[in-house]
Chains A and B, each alone.
Chain A
Amino acid sequence: MSAPILEVENLRKYFPVRNLWKRRVGWLRALDDVSFTVQPGEILGIVGESGCGKSTLGKTLMGIHTATQGRILFQDQDIAPLKPHQSRKFRQHLQYCYQDPGASLDPRWTIRASLHEPLIVHTDLDEAAREERVREILAAVGLPLTHLDLYPHEISGGQQRRVGLARILTLKPSVVILDEPTSGLDVSVQATILKLFLSLQQQFGLTYLFVSHDLSVVRLICDRVAVMYLGRIVEIGETAQVFATPRHPYTQSLLAAIPKIGGARVTDTFALEGEPPSPTNLPSGCRFRTRCPRAQALCAEQDPALRADWPNQAAACHFAE
């Protein structure tokens, strides 16, 4: 096994909860002791329901949020505590792709200007070299070069999305964090975009962190998957294995909740009750115990750690088998 490209150790991100008079009345624990590693060239899916901290995780890795505690090792350097100017040379290798990358284009700039900008900020290439790089990337995302002189409103939404992706790739990053890249897309368009992600990954040797709530997409394109619940990874492992034999009761419920066309109807079989508790007021012990069908006294006392008891699969549950 080669050295991991990204290593996250006990990462915490707490947001202060303040009352009307700005006094801190508690902490929202968006990320609580999250640890995992990412191998070069792999696609790691991060799934969970809204409020589980998956987007916070992506943003903290990117330095958009500063970590409260913990280490983020990227190329053997801890980038968590770095000041923005110190981390600039690392950040260009680590890119963040918003839900709709097209929306981040400046409406008053031509596509060319938007694509040149990251190169001007991060590299000292001259204009000819930049232009060459821009053209190469534009071809890779499947857009004609004539689009360089157009403005964002002159091209379709799908093409804007491609330009947004091109903009991320101009710096030749090694890790790209994709935050809900397919939510809000219709299925017929979704397949095209996913194929583009896969071909770009091949072409540029990218590593993806694929943050999503859509399990059927994750199942198709991710090598490994991490399931989060209320700021914590409850299960992580190889995608095929997690989907075939989920160990954590939450993963089991999550998988059971996806409608399966042709199969038994979820509305007849689904059993999980209630909704996730507020992350500002977590239950003691295991966070899932308030909804867990298997909860026992031990679950309220002890917070289970991630156990790697199965080959290529780990789960944080006292009673997982």
Chain B
Amino acid sequence: MESDLITVRDLRVAFAADAGLAKVLDGVSCAIRPGEIRGLVGESGCGKTTLARAILGILPRNSARIEGGQVLFGGRDLLKVPEAALAREVRGREIAYIPQDPSTAFNPVFTIGTQIADLMHWKSPLLRDPNFKGNARARRAADLARVVEWLRLVQLPNPEALLRKYPHEVSGGQRQRLMIAMALLPEPKLVIADEPTTALDVTVQAQILKLLKGLARERNVAVLFTTHDLGAAYEICDRITVMYAGQEVEEAPVAEFFNRPSHPYTRKLLDSLPSAETGLRGIPGEIPRLIDPPPGCRFNPRCDRATEICQQRPAPELASPGHSVRCHHRLTEFAA
């Protein structure tokens, strides 16, 4: 078994709110292997974006508090790495980020070329390359050639002209392609894509998913893909982790996830997808308030299988090889 690229262990994050401390991540653990495309799915407020941001070290400093846990990456705990070193060595270089809304991620007053040049100034892989012998000017020329090549790879027409344009002059789909190129240019090992297709139309979404999947596979880059759209997760992921109200509840390979869900929440989530066979089925009740969440498994107030024991958080167990679930009353038995 190959070793994991990144391991999140028992991560706890709380946010200070007016009414108290919201426990947004409650002991989340997950591990991503090199080159794996991992889906992180769940409904709004389940903590998927907070997890993504905690890995990157970009939680809002004035309100978020890390209360425990580890994020192990490249032999060190990212939560303990000083901010300056994190910015210099990890963020944008080893771990890149693709934001949800590409239109607000660019600075509107600089050209796209200026912004990519700025990125390359700090994060160019040539800066790390001991075999590269040229001076700064030679490096810039080599970088420019690479940028143009990458813009072709993400299928943007006429890259040289595009670099002179301002962000508002290109369409939303093209901006998201640029974001993908910029995330991958520094040759990261892990890309965190936070709802990258939510702001896009379905036909463009299909194109972007195809592109992201193809490039990640080709370069063996791991992707953490957060989404609330199970269809999009089905499209590109190898494995899927489900979160509910700040806890991870199930993790499974994609086929297993959709065919044999084991956690009652996953089952209900899949059932509420609109389809001709099942009609319209929601999940009764509401997502708990994270300021005073229910004890134990946070799904227990809405779960029809819940009993006394659900007041304690279940440990992860295997429902089948590679399929782990945290539930006292799981739906499938272990089939060895």
Binding site for B on A (CB under 8 A): 49-50, 156, 158, 186-192, 194-195, 198, 213, 215-217, 219-220, 253-254, 256-262, 265-268, 270, 272-273, 275
**Interface secondary structure of B, over-half rule:** helix
A261 B273 Cβ-Cβ under 8 A: yes
| Seed contacts A187-B43, A216-B275; 11 additional CB < 8 Å A-B pairs | A49-B201, A186-B228, A188-B272, A192-B282, A216-B273, A220-B274, A220-B279, A261-B273, A265-B234, A266-B210, A270-B210
- DSSP class of A's interface residues: helix, strand, loop or mixed? helix
The answer to whether B202 touches A254, judged by C-beta atoms less than 8 angstroms apart, is: yes
List chain A residues, Cβ under 8 A from B269: 187-188
B272 touches A215 (CB 8 A): no
Provide the residues of chain A in CB contact with B279, threshold 8 Å. 220
Given contacts A216-B275, A259-B234, A260-B231, contact A50 B280 (CB under 8 A): no
| In the complex, chain B residues 238-294 whose Cβ is within 8 Å of any chain A Cβ | 258-259, 268-269, 272-276, 279-283, 286
Interfacial chain A residues near B230, Cβ < 8 Å: 187, 261
Smallest CB gap from B155: residue in A: A273
Shortest Cβ gap from A52 to chain B (Å) = 9
Closest 5 CB pairs between A and B?
A259-B231, A191-B282, A49-B201, A188-B283, A186-B43
Name B residues whose Cβ lies closer than 8 Å to a Cβ of A: 43-44, 171, 173-174, 201-207, 209-210, 213, 228-232, 234-236, 258-259, 268-269, 272-276, 279-283, 286
B174, B232, B274, B286 interface centre (most CB from chain A within 10 Å): B274
Residues of chain B within 8 A of A217, CB atoms compared: 274
Cβ–Cβ < 8 Å partners of B283 in chain A: 188
**Cβ of B106 to closest chain A Cβ, rounded Å:** 18
Measured in the bound complex, the distance between the Cα atoms of B280 and A194 in whole Å is 8
Q: Which of B44, B203, B206, B282 contacts A195 (CB 8 A)?
A: B282
Instruction: For the complex formed, measure the closest distance between the CB of B236 and the CB atoms of chain A, giving whole angstroms.
Output: 6
Question: Which residues does chain A contribute within 8 Å of B209, judged by CB atoms?
Answer: 266-267
Please indicate the chain A residues that have their CB under 8 angstroms from the CB of B205 in the complex: 257
Shortest CB-to-CB span from B285 to chain A, Å, is 9
Asked whether A190 lies within 8 Å of B202 as measured between CB atoms, the reply is no
The answer to whether A187 touches B201 (Cβ under 8 A) is no
User: Residue A213 contacts which of B201, B206, B210 (CB distance < 8 angstroms)?
Assistant: B201
Q: Which chain B residues lie closer than 8 Å to A213 at the CB level?
A: 201-202
How far is A149 from B140 in the complex, measured between Cα atoms in Å? Answer: 66
| Residue pair B274, A189 in contact (C-beta under 8 Å) | no
Q: In the complex the two chains form, what is the Cα distance from A188 to B228 in whole Å?
A: 11
Q: CA–CA, A156 to B205, complex, Å?
A: 32
Please, how many angstroms separate the alpha-carbon atoms of A192 and B281 in the complex? 7
- The reply to whether B171 and A275 contact each other, CB–CB distance below 8 Å, is yes
- In whole angstroms, how far apart are the Cα atoms of A195 and B281 in the complex? 9
A189, B235: Cα distance in complex, Å: 23
Once the chains bind, are A187 and B272 in contact (CB under 8 Å)? yes
Q: What is the distance, in angstroms, from A13's C-beta to the closest C-beta of chain B?
A: 21
Among A158, A188, A195, A272, chain B packs the most CB atoms within 10 A around the CB of A188
Decide if A158 touches B286 in the complex (CB within 8 Å): yes
The verdict on A191 contacting B280 (CB below 8 Å), with A50-B201, A213-B202, A270-B206 known, is yes
A-B contact pairs, 15 of them (CB 8 A): A186-B228, A187-B228, A187-B269, A188-B272, A191-B274, A213-B202, A216-B273, A220-B275, A260-B231, A261-B258, A262-B234, A262-B259, A266-B235, A267-B213, A275-B174
Q: Which residues of A contact B174 (CB under 8 A)?
A: 275
Residues of B with C-beta under 8 A to A158: 286
Contact B207 A270 (CB under 8 A): yes
For B258, the chain A residues whose CB sits under 8 A away are: 261-262
A219 contacts across to B, CB distance below 8 A: 274, 276
Q: Is the CB of A259 within 8 A of B232?
A: yes
CB distance from A36 to the nearest CB of B (A): 22
Contact of B272 with A267 in the complex, beta carbons under 8 Å: no
B171, B202, B272: residue with the most chain A Cβ atoms closer than 10 Å:
B202
Which residue among B213, B234, B268, B280 has the maximum number of chain A CB atoms within 10 Å of its CB?
A: B280
Chain A, Cβ-Cβ closest to B210: A267
Residue of B nearest to A188 (CB): B283
Contact status B43-A253, CB under 8 Å: no
B178 to chain A, nearest CB (A): 14
Contact B173 A275 (CB under 8 A): yes
The verdict on A220 contacting B276 (CB below 8 Å), with A186-B43, A267-B213 known, is: yes
- Cα-based distance from A190 to B273 in the complex (angstroms): 9
A216, B273: Cα distance in complex, Å? 9
| A253, B202: Cα distance in complex, Å | 10
In the bound complex, CA of A217 to CA of B229 (Å)? 14
Q: Which of A187, A217, A257 has the most CB of B within 10 A?
A: A187
| A258→B202 contact, CB < 8 A | yes
B235 to A265, Cβ gap below 8 A? yes
Q: A253-B203, A257-B205 are in contact. Are A188 and B282 (CB under 8 A)?
A: yes
Who on chain B is nearest to A216 by CB?
B274
Evaluate contact between B235 and A259: CB separation under 8 angstroms.
Answer: yes
Residues on the B chain within 8 Å of A190, using CB: 272, 274, 282
Q: List B contacts of A187 (CB < 8 A).
A: 43, 228, 230, 269, 272-274
A259 to B39 alpha-carbon distance, docked (Å): 15
Bound-state Cα–Cα, A268 to B206, Å: 9
Q: How far is the CA of A245 from the CA of B209 in the complex (A)?
A: 26
A188-B268, A190-B282, A191-B282 are contacts. A267–B275 as well, Cβ < 8 Å?
no
Q: Which residue of A lies closest to B203 (CB)?
A: A257
Instruction: Looking at the assembled complex, report how far the CB atom of B165 sits from the nearest CB atom of chain A, in whole angstroms.
Output: 15
With A and B bound together, what is the CA distance between A220 and B206 in angstroms? Answer: 22
In the complex, are the beta carbons of B231 and A258 less than 8 A apart?
yes
Q: Provide the bound-state CA to CA distance between A222 and B312, in Å.
A: 44
In the complex, A77→B276 CA distance in Å? 38
Q: Which of A267, A272, A275 contacts B235 (CB 8 A)?
A: A267
